[in-house]
Structure 1
């Protein structure tokens, strides 16, 4: 029998893990697929109703539902990647008896699943807002938007590895990490434009990589979007690369602890 190459083994492992993740995600609940799509849609509908009907917020030159859509879906993607990666090793620990499967494979498989599923959600909501409701959902710079999404995925993937290593050493921290994404939701300019905030507040928020990512995504989505000072691809790329290097270093140092049964 011909011996398979390392790349062929990796491809087979990732394919099997992705199928396992998809089956586990949707077979446990009959309404799993519905709730995955309903989460971002519910965020958009609730915040649109709260802001527009109760507070009367208007964005001159921007449709508020599209504004919410451009921030909510990417934020949920980045959040889900980090949190799903955090629990990937613990959920697949029994599989490490097979020497072909590594902890990093399980994390990568979950990242792939989240990107595919949220991509489908993005296209569905894009169709609803653009073709059904009639909003303008065309991207002013699709390539720049894709590049920003890519570095956002890299950053969240790296954070997920770091979370995974931390939770392996300190399991009680897992709840705190999950809860931390609630205030981050409000500190990342997902719900309101950054230009609504005082200049000093924008400067502090610029230290938040998620704030950088959401604002840069919207700058590539809307024509003439006013980008806050300090926001750009430079800080995003720097944060992604540094976080990834730290994550891989921690993973290499704690790899044996992660595979222990």
Structure 2
């Protein structure tokens, strides 16, 4: 986290909650894993006291306590913790600093705990998206009509920029394509598609790719950390 996190979270609570906030969901698989003995005096307290501490803590502190260890995570499942919801923010196209900070806090990491440079956060859809060019070549098939019409003439440049490890691109190629396809330049007539249809088309294309050639399918976690933020 960073110094302004608390203020940004308070701004989000004031301006967006409760419509754009949701429950902090903990995967059942994490709750079922064995607990490791902790030497901390805090986790040695009775469950009743720990639940009182969680209940009286600020939202950001509740989340921090929940992510401290598996015991605190299990206890947090008994309480009601709310966090900024990525799907709800995405539906209203909100530019929210708290949502972006939470997304960065859940950055995908490798076996040794180092951040994975092959994934990057998109500030439009609030998801971690692959940086591999091969993945976006597959997604490109969804927009063949738009590419043919010249509406997505800059798609390859956007993919190159997004895939560059040194790039500071904030918008993934799919979000860029969805905006460009639904809001083409003046003078270009075409049948407008609802943005939600692109997501369904993408899922169908990925499923078809898996059945045709498993070695060419994108990673199973195609939506990054979506399951943690939904």
Structure 1 length as normaliser, TM-score? 0.23
Structure with greater contact order relative to length (CA < 8 Å, sep ≥ 6): 1
More helix by share: 1
**Higher Rg of the two aligned structures:** 2
Structure 2 length as normaliser, TM-score? 0.25
